[in-house]
Amino acid sequence: MAQTLAEKILASHSDRESVKPGDFVMAKLDLVLGNDITAPVAIKEFRRLGAKKVFDIDKVALICDHFTPNKDILAAEQVKFVREFAREHDITHFYDVGDMGIEHCLIPEKGLAEPGFLIIGADSHTCTYGALGSFATGVGSTDMAAAMAIGKAWFRVPHTQRFNFTGKLKPYVSGKDLIIFTIGKIGVDGARYQAMEFGGEVISALSVEARLTMANMAIEAGAKAGLFAADSKTVEYLKKAGQTVSELYPDQDASYYKIHDFDVSNLEPQVAFPHLPENAKSVREAKGIKVDQVVVGSCTNGRIEDLREAAEVLKGRKVNKNVRMIVIPGTQRIYLQAIEEGLVQTFVEAGAAVSTPTCGPCLGGHMGILASGEVSLSTTNRNFVGRMGHPQSFVYLSGPYVAAASAVAGEIVHPEEVLS
Whether residue 141 has pLDDT greater than 90: yes
Across 103-108, average pLDDT = 97
The domain 272-419 belongs to what CATH superfamily? Aconitase, domain 3 (3.30.499.10)
Which pLDDT score is estimated for 420?
A: 82
The whole model's pTM is what?
0.95
Secondary structure (3-state) at 292: coil
* pLDDT exceeds cutoff 90 at 390: yes
Partners of 160 in beta bridges: 195
Give the rounded percent of residues in the chain with a pLDDT score beyond 90.
98
pLDDT-derived band at 387 (thresholds 50, 70, 90) equals very high
pLDDT band at 1 (very low <50, low <70, confident <90, very high): confident
pLDDT average, residue stretch 211-239: 97
CA distance 306 to 296: 8
**Residue 16: per-residue pLDDT:** 95
> Mean per-residue pLDDT for 230-239?
97
What is the DSSP code (8-state) at residue 167?
S
Describe the strand order of the beta sheet including 31-35 as a list of residue ranges. Answer: 93-95, 60-63, 31-35, 118-121, 135-138
Look at the domain 5-262 and name its fold. Answer: Aconitase; domain 3 (3.30.499)
DSSP state of 271: E
pLDDT of residue 214: 98
What is the H or E stretch that residue 63 is in? strand 60-63
Start-end ranges of CATH 3.30.499.10 in the chain? 5-262, 272-419
With 90 as the cut, is the pLDDT of residue 330 above it? Answer: yes
Query: How large is the average pLDDT for residues 350-357?
Result: 96
Q: What pLDDT shows up at residue 208?
A: 97
Mean pLDDT, residues 287-314 taken together: 97
Relative to beta strand 24-28, strand 152-156 is: antiparallel
**pLDDT (mean) for 208-221:** 98
Q: Give mean pLDDT, residues 260-271.
A: 98
